[in-house]
A and B are shown apart, each in its own frame.
Chain A
Amino acid sequence: MTRLSFLLSGFFVIAITVAPSTFAVEPDEMLADAALEERARVISQDLRCVVCQNENIDESNAVLAQDMRRLVRQRVLAGDTNQEVLDYMVERYGDFVLLRPRMTPETYLLWFGPALVLIAGAVVTVRTLRRASQRTLSTSPQNLSADERSRLDHLVSDRASGDEP
């Protein structure tokens, strides 16, 4: 019983980890050539559905996405490279249709912004920590009253003379 449930849960884990992510491609849309179909799938995952906007056309059930998938497969069959198919869509819909933004001067901030923020954060952190440690070092002895200072001197000299229990 336990072994059975163990096996079943094992199957379940395998099923959910190796199962393909959901996609909307209908069997009759697929190309007969598996290699070309695989390329079409890869291209489709980089193209935004212009109706639903946050889905790629490989996942979207919108009819326009379906027609865009059909067009991608037509272009692949006609011998276009992946880049040529993407360019074809960009010519019509602009960079917006790409889910992976291109590296252009307009998108430098998008690509490098997070790194800049990380560096700025590191600089601020280092400076703050350094200043804090300097402050502890430089201010703590000065804050002692005359009485405290004499006690401290006393303790330090006791220890220095090797008078330990």
Chain B
Amino acid sequence: MTDIATKPARSKWAALVPVAIVAVLLGIFAKRLADVEGGNDPSLIPTVLLNTPVPDIDLPPLPDRPPGLKTDDLSGEVSLVNIWGSWCVACLSEHPLLMRLAEDNAVPIHGIAWRDEPNASVRWLARHGDPYALIGQDPVSEAAIAFGVTGAPETFVVDANGLIRYKHIGPISEQAWESTIAPLIEELRTQ
């Protein structure tokens, strides 16, 4: 008899197990959704190249815009390396910010014209303005793959020793510049 009497008490707790599992799953889903909303998109691939030297590159220049861009150009001072292309619509949205940084001499910005037709790159710069110090052509993604690029635009912060210190995926927003990239550049300059 005692055996029977204790059974319902146990199964009452057992009945809560599926409820608990569903609650935990809902919690995970809610967190993922909140991450995406908050700009922390899990499909963005984090770079494994942080704090490693910039890869070996030696990229040819655009027509009438020598020199190109090579690894040695990326040490000596803190700089940005921006992956872009005339075909890249999102690049246009960060372009005004890059132009302003160039006018203010905020930081040297080097460009990698990724998988672009050279004359198209030149026309695009003539039309929208040219914020770049040096530009190298990357017609077959040689540099893009070496940098672990997954799309354009992407921007790398390179320190004076030529180490990659930050990777920004997508267009740089005012907010990303003010809150993350500009303070990082200041910090790297004092090191």
Contacts and interface: CB of A to CB of B under 8 A. Distances in A.
Interface of A: 50-51, 53, 63-64, 67-68, 70-71, 90-94, 96, 135, 138-139, 142
Given A68-B141, A138-B3, A93 B115 contact: no
A71 B146 CA distance: 10
Contact of A94 (B1, B3, B46): B46
A5 to B, nearest CB: 48
Contact of A53 (B43, B49, B115): B43
Nearest to B1: A142
Contacts of A63: 115, 141
A93 B148 contact: yes
Nearest to B4: A139
Nearest to A89: B145
B144 interface: yes
Contact of B147 (A51, A92, A138, A142): A92
Interface in B3-47: 3-4, 7, 43, 45-47
A135 B146 CA distance: 67
The binding surface of chain A is classed by DSSP as helix
B4 A93 contact: no
A67 B141 contact: yes
B151 interface: yes
B126 interface: no
Contacts of B142: 67, 71
A139 B144 CA distance: 73
A90 B148 CA distance: 9
A69 B7 CA distance: 63
B1 A92 contact: no
A93 B167 CA distance: 12
Contact of A50 (B49, B55, B150): B150
Contacts of A68: 141, 145
16 contacts: A50-B45, A63-B141, A64-B145, A64-B150, A67-B115, A67-B141, A68-B145, A70-B140, A71-B141, A92-B146, A92-B148, A93-B45, A93-B48, A93-B148, A94-B46, A94-B47
